[in-house]
Amino acid sequence: MLERTFSIIKPDAVAAGLSGAILAEIDQAGFRFVAIKKESITKREAEGFYAVHREKPFFSSLTDFMSSGPLFLMVLEKDNAITDLRKLMGATNPANAEEGTIRKKFARSLQENAIHGSDAPETAAFEIGYWFAGYELI
């Protein structure tokens, strides 16, 4: 089923000059770029985005990191986009990520792990709506 997911190239990867390589991986995996924008987000915006993690011990550090520099916000489309992007990303901790995945190739730590991808249809809908207006998603 044709589906949309939300993704971020995180500040660690952008700062390391890895944006092009990661965009190429996503492109080669057959995703259509519905929308893409480079932004620097505030800590408050990062806290709203990661609200499900607000009770976690890493919440403050994570939202500091996500607001530390420019990132790419993206909406991606393909059949089974949500599951397929999570597979392409690899495990949250790059030490556990499968060979060939984006996090295995490009992530530097559990927190600075290069890429975000929505984990379910409901979270994809929330995350797309959090960062993009309807007119940006044509």
Find which of ligand IDP, Mg ion, none residue 92 binds, CB within 5 to 8 Å per kind. Answer: ligand IDP
Q: What is the DSSP string of 24-51?
A: HHHHHTT-EEEEEEEE---HHHHHHHTG
Find which of Mg ion, ligand IDP, none residue 130 binds, CB within 5 to 8 Å per kind. Answer: none
Is position 58 an interface residue for ligand IDP (rule: CB under 6 A)? yes
CA 109 from centroid of its chain's CA atoms: 15
Site for Mg ion in 78-137 (CB under 5 A): 119
What token pair was written down for 106? 């490009």
Which position among 4, 10, 86, 116 bears the catalytic label? 116
**All residues at 6 or more sequence positions from 70 whose CB lies less than 8 Å from its CB, including other chains:** 11, 14, 15, 38, 39, 40
Cα gap 127→53, rounded to integer Å: 14
Is position 68 an interface residue for ligand IDP (rule: CB under 6 A)? no
Closest to ligand IDP by CB, 21 vs 110, is: 110
Report the nearest approach of ligand IDP to the CB of residue 134 (Å).
25
Asked whether 7 and 116 are in contact (CB, 8 A), the reply is: yes
Is position 47 an interface residue for ligand IDP (rule: CB under 6 A)? no
116 labelled catalytic? yes
Find which of ligand IDP, Mg ion, none residue 19 binds, CB within 5 to 8 Å per kind. Answer: none
- Give which of 11, 5, 9 is closest to 30, Cα–Cα: 5
Which residues of this chain interact with ligand IDP, rule CB under 6 A? 58, 62, 92, 110-111, 113, 116, 119
Which residues of this chain interact with Mg ion, rule CB under 5 A? 119
